[in-house]
């Protein structure tokens, strides 16, 4: 048969302090892990920002090149139409349109 001794205030306080120490230690580990994850996230966001900048620059260059190619295409088409008109006049043909 076991006899239970009355729980004293001092004993309850010691148990509470041990529990508090354990909780603080767990929180310390969790905060360290959180800080590490925030650092990793910061690096990922910075990398994403750099990638977005590179993409923006590439798209800007592609748009400039497309505009230049379109302008060159229109100039070539105008030149071809002028040559066709000269050739038709020289041959005495009238345009089909």
DSSP for 29-83 reads HHHHHHHHHHHHHHHHHHHHHHHHHHHHHHHHHHHHHHHHHHHHHHHHHHHHHHH
Give the pLDDT confidence score for residue 95 in this predicted structure: 57
User: What range does the domain containing 42 cover?
Assistant: 30-91
- What number is the average pLDDT over the span 43-67? 96
The reply to whether 59 falls in a domain is: yes
Model confidence over 63-75: pLDDT tens digits? 999 999 999 999 9
Residue 8 in domain:
no
Residue 1 has pLDDT above 70, yes or no: no
pLDDT exceeds cutoff 60 at 8: yes
Residue 35 lies in a domain: yes
11 occurs within a structural domain: no
Least confident of 11-20, 24-33, 38-47, 84-93: 84-93
**pLDDT tens digit string along 13-32?**
999 999 999 999 999 999 99
């Amino acid at each position: 048969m076991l006899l239970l001794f009355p729980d004293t205030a001092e004993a309850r306080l010691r148990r509470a302090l041990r529990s508090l120490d354990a909780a603080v230690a767990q929180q310390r580990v969790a905060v360290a892990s959180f800080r590490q994850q925030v650092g990793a996230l910061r690096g990922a966001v910075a990398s994403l920002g750099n990638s977005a900048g590179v993409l923006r620059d590439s798209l800007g260059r592609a748009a400039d090149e497309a505009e230049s190619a379109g302008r060159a295409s229109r100039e070539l088409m105008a030149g071809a139409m002028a040559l066709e008109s000269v050739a038709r006049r020289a041959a005495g043909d009238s345009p089909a349109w």
